[in-house]
Structures are given as C-alpha cells and as structure tokens.
Structure 1
C-alpha cells in the first residue's frame, strides 16, 4: 500500500475547474495518453492509439436495438491507450502533487486532480512492459477521495500481449454533468480543437471517440483542413510568439477563432468575429471554411495558471508589461494580413453597399462618408437596411457631437482673443466645410421626408384592399398629427407644406373649445376630426392677426355634401366665430380678429359631383388645371380654395421636383 504525499481532499477542493468546462478532465486524460505514447516511442517503434469511449446513463433509455442512445446523459469516459503505462517513474509522478516529471512537455503535475473535481472516482488499469524482465505487468487501482492509499501490487499479465492503460472517469458529479453536450460528434470536435497541435505531429497517435458511432479525430482533422497550415513568428514587446494559420471546413466552429495555447494545450479561445469587423460567419458560406489561429510561445507557457484554465496576464495595457490586449491586437493584425484577399473583397463590397444605400435611400448620411470614414469602416458587413440605418444614425450623432464640441472650442478661443487668426485659418475652413455638409445632410433628410410623405398621400387616397377608402384620420394625421398641438410637435412633424409652402412654419392656434361651440362639451386641447383647423405664422401676443389660415380635411371620394353640410359653409362659419373675438387659442388667450385680418380657407377633398354642384352655385371658379376651385369672399376678407387630393399631389411634386432630382429620389 502506498499513499499520496499531499492532502488529496484539500488539493482537489482548491482545484479551480469552471462548471461550464466539464470536458477539461477528459482533455487532461487524453493528453496524458498522448504523452505516454510519445514516451514509449522513444524506446521502441509502434503505432500509437488512443480510444475514448463515451459512457451513458443506461437507466434513461434501455439499450435496445434501434434505440438512439445519444439522448442519454453522459456519465463518464474510458480513455484507453497503448503508451508507456504507469511504470515506476510514472507511478511515482502520479503520487506526487505538482510533479515536474513531464515539465519539459508542459506537464504541471496537477491534471489528474480535475478528475476528482468533476467525477466521483477514477479507476485505472495499466498493463505495461517491465523492461528489466521483459514481461508485461498490470497495475490496477481506484483513485478517489475515499481512499487515501492505493493498492500498488504488480501482477504479471500473461494473457495480453500489448501495452494497455485504461483510465475510467466514473460518474460525473451533477454540477458538471448538466453542462456536458450529449452529442458525441460535438465532443469529438471539441477534442480535435483541443488537440490540434498534436494532430499536426507526424507521429501523432490515432485518436478515436467511440459511441454508437466511431469518430477518428485524425481523419476528421485531415478532412477539415482546407489548406496546409502556415506558421508565422511574431514579436510582442520583445517576446517571441508563433502564430499558426489554419483554415478548417468545420461549420460547428460557428465562426473564426484564435486559440491561445500553453504547453501544447488550448487554454483560451478568442472569437475573431468580434475582434475583426469584416470577418464574420459569411466566410464559411463564401469560402467553405473558418479561419483558426493557434498562438503559442514561451510567454504563454510561463504565464498559464496551474490548472491550465486561464492565463495570469493583465487584460489591458500596463506600462511595459505584455497584456492580453497586446497579444490579441497583434495577432488580430497578423490574421488580417493572412486573410487580406478575402477581407479586402468584403470591405470593398461593404463600402459599395453603404454608398448605394446612402445615395438611394438615406442621403442625409452622405457627409459621413467624407468626415467619418473610420466609423463607417467599423460597420459590420451584411446588415439589413434597418440595421444599417441604425448604425449610420449612431455615427451621425457622434459627428454632430464632435462638430458641436469643436464649434464651442473655436468660439471659446475667439472670445479670449486669438493673437494670429491666420494660424487658425485652415482649421476654420475645415470646420465651416463640416458645418456646410451637415446642413446639406439635414436638408437632404427633409427632402427625402417630403418624397415619402407624397408617396403615402398617393397611397392614402386610393382604394384599400377591402374596397374602401381610408378614413379622414389617415389624411388628417399625415398632414397634421391628431390630438397634438404645436407645443407638442416640431414643425417637421407636420406636413402643411402639402397645401401651401407658406404653412411649413405655421403655429397651431385653433380654439381649445369644441368647434360646435357647445359649452356643455368638455374643454380639450385636441383637433376635432372633420372640423376646421386654424393656423398662423404669428404668435398670439394680444394684437390683431394679420392672417389666419383655416384648413378643412375630408375623406377621399366623399360624395354626400349638401347645401348645409359642406366644407365651404363650415369654414365660413369658423370665420364668423373668430370674428366675434370670443374664440380662445390653445392657451386660453383670445384670438383677436380685425377689419384687416386676411383669412385663407383651404378645403382638402376630392371634388365629387355633389360638391362641384354646390360650389358652382356659390360662384367658385375652376383653377386652370381644372383640379381645384377658388374664390375671394369680400365680406369675410377670405380667399377660398377647394383643393383636390390630385391637385395637392401634383402641385407638391412640381414644387419639389428640382429638389428630388438633385437628391436622386
């Protein structure tokens, strides 16, 4: 009987094994098998082999023919190899914590403690050659926290003619079991990635994962290798690293990766899709592979933690010390160089797409191409129009913020007195140019908005799919949002310019009592549907208004007008109410009307037969284009226009055509 030269329970308790990395004990066992095979190959020639058997819970689904056992939980693994075995030297190392026996190969002497961290026990049977007597002997024992000592009796093995060591990782502990992927191929792929460096060795043993199917990691790696690996030596602050560039035809990677290795074992994975803007999952669709970089070096070997689950390296740059940021950024630059042909095409296509989108759909962002090229370059390729618009808007906000900050800085310097303005001439010119471009962008956005509004109006006056016309609310909201006052919306939020350009900056001054003047009705600050709206370009400061505009909106193709119910009667009635000087504005202030107040009355509606008949009796005349009616009412000092929807659209398009042409919309 022999015992460990440490407090085993305490050592296992202090072993740091993240719950989301349940395969680390398996990796340790497999790498040990590879080392054992390499050690035996130094003594004799043979073909090395490692088999990993997946053990599943047989209670969940009975082991019957035709039943898919891959949905059963994985409870453990058997790792079988034909390496050197647990001979005297390896057994001594096994019993000693932090053994340096395999330090030259990156061994830390602690990997086996991960077995007891994640499993209830480990059963080990090792048949190996005793070279002194030239016979095979067997060592068989259980490694667990329940046994402080192990039976170290050696028995001569007469029935097996080949070295065979089996490490059985038995009964996953619940904390780790629930994080184990049940798919055998996925486990094989993860093992392949972890052992990638070994799989490139000429004398790498054949490694198999065995479940209902058998997966050969060597064949998988060979088939998935798109191109021969290319090694590059890089320098980071005087330290030498090796970056192995590979391309794998492996969709399960989910993206291009940079793997940081220490002592020939993978410790940290970096998602390059997040590090390199123009490198994303599309590379697999376009080229059929993902990029995989393997970064190694003495610095990484020296700074890996004892358990090989992380590095003892600062994340951010600090003085002259090498940080993880230094390592990743340098490697990223080399990866971009290696993939330059692909990335150059992606960037070219992305820029063309962004330019086309801005030219055709979002001219308000045009100046960003000139003044924010670095930010434009940081946009991910392949975005939808909506996502691209969001990114461009973020960049525009950044541009506006920087522009404002620089403006304030220049004004501050002028305030304190600049000795030589000539020194700032170039800076001023650049800033003025930026301001000009920003103003052009704002104008472009406004013009594009007008184009969209016109298209919506065209759609709104036509029959819907249900065979009906839109209600008044559709037109009302399009021209001026319902239930809103000028204090609640910006001038850009209404589209009174559709009727007359002079109304673009109008104030809403409509009375805040119901237009039927019924005092029993609740006072409200809303526009009443199908009733006049009064606007003006003047603030109510107690003086008589020079002009007041009244607008009446009607449902498209309405044709039930009568002598007592038509837009002309309604608008003139509102003029009468205003002329009493008893109507209040939205703030409760009287809207003062005098003898010189000029009214402009606009009825926006289709000139249907019933309306045309009534208007002809009221002596309204046709406009030259025969799409509207007009009259001046001398007694009311009111210019009256009946505007059809077609006339509004045609006139607005004519007024804005030169802007649309210049903008390319």
Structure 2
C-alpha cells in the first residue's frame, strides 16, 4: 500500500477546473498516454503507438421526444487505453508525488491526475508491462474516499504488447452537465487539443469509440486540416513566438480560432471573429474553411498556470514593460489579417458599400459619421441585419455627439480665459464649426426622412382595407399627435402637426387629452374621445390673454353621418364659446384667458363627404381652388375655420417638403 505525501481531498478541492472545461481530465489522460508512448519509443523505435478512447454512457434508454434526439444518453465517463511504457516504478512514484517534476522537460506540472478527481468520482488504473524481463500487471483505484493507493503488482502470462487502461468513472456535477453530447464533437475537441502532436509523423493512432461509431482522430486531422509548411515567427518585446496558419475544412468548428499552446498542450482558445472586425462565419461559406492559428513560444511555456487551464499573463500591460495577453492577441491578429488579406479586403469593401447605401437610402442622419468617425464605422461587423446596423451607427452617433459637446465646451472655455493668439486657434475653430455643421445637417436629414415616412403612413391610413373598412380615428390621431400626451411630456419632434400647418410645429399646448380643471366630467381635448377637439397655442399660459388659439378636430376617414347639430363646425365653435368664457382652466388649474384680440384658428381634418359638404355650404363656406378644402371667417367669434380633406393635407405637405425630399434623395 502506498500513501500520498499530501492531503489529497484538500489538494483536489483547491484544484481549479472551470466547469466549462469538463473534457480537461480526458485531455490530460490522452497527453499522458502520448508521453508514455514516446518514453517507450525511446527504447524501442519500432513501437507503433495507439490510444483508444471509449465513451461510456448511461445504460438506460431515454424517451424519444419529437424534435429532440433524446436517444443519446448522457456521458458518465471515459476509458483510455494505450500501449505506452506503463505504470512502472518510476511512473508510479511520480504519480504518488504531488507536483512531480518527473516530466518537467515536457511541460508536465505533476497535477493532471487531480483533474480526474475534480470531475469524476474515481479513476481505475490497470497497466500491463515488462518489469525486469517479466510481464506484470499493476492495478489500483484512485479516489478521494481513501488517501492511500492500494495497488497490486502481479505476474501475468506474456502479452503481445503493453497495455494501460485508465477508466474515468461517474462524472460529477457540474461537469457532467457541460459535457458534449455527441461523440463526433468530443473527437473534434480532442483533435483541437492535440493539434501539435497530430502534426508529428510519430503521433500515435488515436481513436474514439462511441457505441457503434468509431472516429479516427488522425484521419480526421488529415482530412480536415490544411496547414502551412512553415511557421510565422514574430517578436513581442524580447520574446519570440511562432504562429502556424491552418485551414480547417470542417463546418463543425463553427468559427475561426486561435489556439494558445504551452509545452505542446493547448491551454487557451480565442475566437478570432471577436478580434478581427471583418472575419466571421462567412469565411467558411466563401472559402470552404475556417482559419485556425497555432501559437507557441517559450514565453507561453513559462507562464502557463499550474493547472494548465489558463495563463498567468495579465490582460493588459499597465506600465508597458510587460507583455500582456492583449499584446499577444493583437500581434496574432495582424499576422492573420495578412494571411487572409484577399478575403478580408473583399469583405471590408462590401461592408463599406452596404453601410453607405444604408445611410443614403434609410438613415441619412448618420452621413457625417463616414467622415468624422471613420474608424468606428469600419469597426462595425459585416453582414449585420438593418436593425443591428442601425443600432451600431446610433452608438457611434452618440459617441460623436458627446465628443462634439466636449469639444464645444473646450473651445468656449478657451475663449472665456482669453487665447494669447486667436489666430493660433483659427484652424481648430474651423474644424469644429465644420463638425457642428455636418451634425446639424444630419439632424435635419433625419427629420426630413421622418416626414417622408409620416406622409406614407397617412396615405395608408386613409385607404380602406381588403374588406372595405377604414382605419380607426386612433390611427390618425396617434399619427398627428400621440394619444394621452401633453407638451410637458413630449418634444415637438414627437408630433406631426406640421402636416396641417408648419406654424403648428412649435405650438405650446394649452390642453391635450387632459380634462379642464382636471375634472373628468368637464369637456376635454382627449384624443381618445375622438369627437373632442385638441386646443393648441404658440405661447405658454402665463396668466395673460392668449393672442392665438388653434383648435383641431379630427374625424374618421370617409365618415358621413354628420347632422346639423353634430358636426365638426358646430363642435369647434362650441369649444370657442367655452374658452372665450374665461371660466375654463388648464390642466394645472390656471384660467385660460382670452380677449377681444384673441384669434382662433379652427381646423376640421376629415374627408369632405356629401353630408359635411351640405352643412358647410349652409354655413356659407367657400371651396378652395383645388376643390379639396373649404374655409370661412367667423367675424363674431374671431375664428378662421378651415375644413381640410386628408387628400389635401397629404398633397400640400408633400409639395412643401418636396424640395427637401429631392435634396435628400428620397
């Protein structure tokens, strides 16, 4: 019986193994098998090494669920068999010693077996080999339940070859949950981890058996990997690095990656699509391969973590004297971009063309970013859908706006303290003014494009559907002015009263969808109560008499059930009477004051159907020259009244904005 020279449970507990790396114990076992075969080949170069990995799954069958392959049972363990040198006395002594330096020249840390017990309940070892000219077999169970190794060494009948079996049993939570389901995925990950070994002509034959399916890792490597004949050498500071370019002709890899190796073992994987802007999954569809870079170097060998799951290298260099992971990855990215230059240049060109086209046709408000934020625009990933492209451009615009604001403040501060020579700042001022001008043009372009969309929505809103029905009044009201909102809650850009009259674009709202005096029984200009008007003015309520009040009445398209008593003309005039009484209060409880100089403008926005036309004629309304509107001035009530058809509003608004649409190219 042999005893560990450490507190085994404590050592395993402190062993860091991320739950996202559940295959690390298997990788350690495979690499140990490779080393064991190499050690045997040092004494007998005729040995043809092999490593067989068997996947052990739960025995019970699962219920087949529609759309889900539930017939694949969970993996519980692995059995790794090799014909290496075996667990002879030297290897057994090393196994019993924590942090053994037995294979230090190969990068061994002497801790790999602790990964077994971190992720598995136990590991059973059986090793047959020749000792002092005689065949022997050593067997033992490695588990946390006992701190000693109760191994047995017995004589056996001669075998045709050495044979060591390591069985990793009963995978533990949370590692079991993170194990891949499919055998092919596991085989692929083994191939990724063993890249460097598979490149060697002496690499043992490695196979993975999963029930009735067998995967030959060496054949997979030869079929799927196209590697360059020479490594790319480069330096960071005084450290040398080697980068091997490979092409992975296998869609299962899913992305272009960088593999960082230390002592011939893969330690860290980096998704290069996150590091190189114009590199993405379309590389495979365009070229038939994913890129994989194999990075190695003495610096990586010397700075790998004890558990070989990460590097002891800072992400960024604080003082510039040390090499950081950012330095390493950025240097690799530069070399990869040279290697993939033709493809990346083509992708970049198509992306720039698409961004320009999108800005020109859909989002002119971002036009200035192409000039002033070029690097940020170039950093946008290719092939984004329109919605995500717009999100990225918006982020860049916010960055531009914030920087512009800061630069403006700096210039103002310079002027306030007094520049020693204003001429010395002239160029700076000119550049800043140019930026401001471009930003203002972009804002104007955005507003003009918004108007075009609103006009198209209004055109659609007044048309009947396939069943002959028209849009409800709420659609029109929301389009012209949001329901249940006041001027305190929205900016002028949020409404579209310019459709009726450009002068209304900056109106101050006296009442909009809020009951007078906050009394729900009182008359109110509520866009939800569609036959109630909306009253607006271009001045706030300061207690003075209003000079101008505008009242809007909107009706459902093609409505034709008006009567002499119930029609928009009577409703708006009645509303004038109530406001002119000087007894009505706004939503803040302040009196709405009018006088003999208060001018009312009343707009009925509706289709001029037969009944409404008859009523308007009875009130002596005059038809507009285009025959799509009617108007009258009511002397006694100081009210200009106009009935505007939807067609007239759309046509007039289109004419007013046509030059802007043409200049914008829409």
Using the size of structure 2 for normalisation, the TM-score is: 0.92
Q: Give 5+ residue unaligned stretches, structure 2.
A: 64-68
Compared with structure 1, are the counterparts of its residues 616 and 82 closer, same or farther at alpha carbon in structure 2 (3 Å cutoff)? Answer: same
- Tell me which residue corresponds to 2:549: 548
Distance 1:646 1:229 in 2: 73
Shift in Å, 1:387: 1.5
Distance 1:520 1:128 in 2: 96
CA distance in 1, matches of 2:100, 2:375: 52
Residues 7-58 of structure 1 deviation map (CA, whole Å, 9 limit, x = unaligned): 5455444433333322222111111111122222232313221111122232
Alignment of 1:245-256 (within 5 A): 245-256=245-256
Quick one: structure 1 residues 640 and 318, their matched pair in 2 at CA, closer, same or farther if it must change by over 3 Å?
closer
Instruction: Note the C-alpha offset of 1:150.
Output: 4.0
Please name the residue that 1:644 is paired with: 645
Check 1:215–1:585 CA distance in 2 against 1; reply closer, same or farther (3 A cut). same
Distance in 1, Cα, partners of 2:582 & 2:151: 111
Q: Deviations over 1:152-178 (max 9, x none)?
A: 5352532x2222222222333445333
Q: Does 1:425 align with 2:414?
A: no
Work out whether residues 512 and 523 of structure 1, in 8 Å CA contact, stay in contact via their aligned partners in 2. Answer: no
Query: Do the aligned partners of 1:261 and 1:267 also contact (CA within 8 Å) in 2?
Result: yes
Deviations 1:278-297 (A, max 9, x none): 22223233333222112111
The residue matched to 1:379 in structure 2 has which SS?
Answer: coil
Q: Give CA deviations for 1:256-277 in whole Å, capped at 9, x if unaligned.
A: 2211111111111112222222
Trace 1:209-288 onto structure 2 (pairs within 5 A).
209-212=208-211, 213-228=213-228, 231-288=231-288
Residue 138 (str. 1) matches residue 137 (str. 2): yes
Corresponding residue number in structure 2 for 1:26: 26
CA RMSD in angstroms comes to 2.6
**What's 1:203 paired with?**
202
State the Cα deviation string for residues 435-473 of structure 1 (Å, max 9, x = none). Answer: 111111111111111111111111111113443112222
Q: Is the 8 A contact 1:512 1:588 kept in 2?
A: no
Question: Is the 2:7–2:147 contact (alpha carbons within 8 Å) kept by the matching residues of 1?
Answer: no
State the aligned residue count: 656
Give the Cα separation in 1 of the matches to 2:634 and 2:524. Answer: 31
What is the distance in 2 between the residues matched to 1:580 and 1:97? Answer: 96
- What pairs with 1:115-130 in structure 2 (closer than 5 Å)? 115-130=116-131
Between the aligned partners of 1:314 and 1:222, the Cα distance in structure 2 is: 36
Q: Which residue of 1 aligns with 2:15?
A: 15
In structure 2, relative to structure 1, the CA distance for the partners of 1:106 and 1:149 (3 Å cut) is same
1:142 CA displacement: 3.5
Alpha-carbon distance, 1:5 to partner? 4.9
Using the TM superposition, name which of 4-13 and 392-401 deviates more: 4-13
1:103-133 C-alpha deviation (Å, 9 max, x unpaired): 2222222222322333333333323345x64
5+ residue gaps in structure 1?
A: 63-67
> Larger deviation: 119-128 or 383-392?
119-128
Query: In the alignment, what sits opposite 2:186?
Result: 187
Question: Alignment partner of 2:164: what SS?
Answer: strand
SS state at 1:76 partner: strand
Superposed CA offset, 1:222-251 (max 9, x none): 221145465211211211111122121233
For 1:504, what is the secondary structure of its paired residue?
A: helix
Q: Is the contact made by 1:632 and 1:639 (CA closer than 8 Å) also made in structure 2?
A: yes
Check if 1:304 corresponds to 2:273. no
Q: Which moved more, 1:391-400 or 1:251-260?
A: 251-260
For residue 160 of structure 2, what is the aligned residue in structure 1? Answer: 161
The DSSP-based 3-state class of the residue aligned with 1:447 is helix
CA contact (8 A) 2:518 2:587 kept: no
- Distance verdict in 2 for CA 1:419–1:9, change over 3 Å: closer
Q: CA deviation at 1:626?
A: 1.2
Structure 1 Cα separation of the partners of residues 285 and 222 of structure 2: 20
Q: Aligned equivalents of 2:2 and 2:584: distance in 1?
A: 106
1:594-633 residue pairs with structure 2 within 5 A? 594-633=595-634
- Is residue 525–residue 534 contact of structure 2 (8 Å, CA) maintained in 1? no
Report how far residue 82 of structure 1 moved: 1.9
Assess, with a 3 A threshold, how the Cα gap between structure 1 residues 324 and 636 changes in structure 2: closer, same or farther: same
- Cα deviation for residue 525 of structure 1 reads 7.4
Range moving further from structure 2, 629-638 or 452-461: 629-638
How far residue 540 of structure 1 moved from its aligned partner, in angstroms, is 3.3
The TM-score with structure 1 as length reference comes to 0.92
1:434 Cα offset (Å): 0.7
* C-alpha contact (below 8 Å) 1:136/1:163 kept by paired residues: no
**1:178 aligns to what SS in structure 2?**
helix
Alignment of 1:76-87 (within 5 A): 76-87=77-88
Distance, in Å, in 2 between the alignment partners of 1:171 and 1:549 is 80
Report the 3-state secondary structure (helix = DSSP H, G, I; strand = E; otherwise coil) of the residue aligned with 1:388. helix
- The Cα shift of 1:524 comes to 6.0
Q: What secondary structure does 1:71 align onto?
A: coil
Q: 2-side partners of 1:509 and 1:317: how far apart?
A: 61
Alpha-carbon distance in structure 1 between the residues aligned to 2:474 and 2:306: 71
Identify which range, 210-219 or 149-158, moves more after superposition. 149-158
SS at match of 2:549: strand
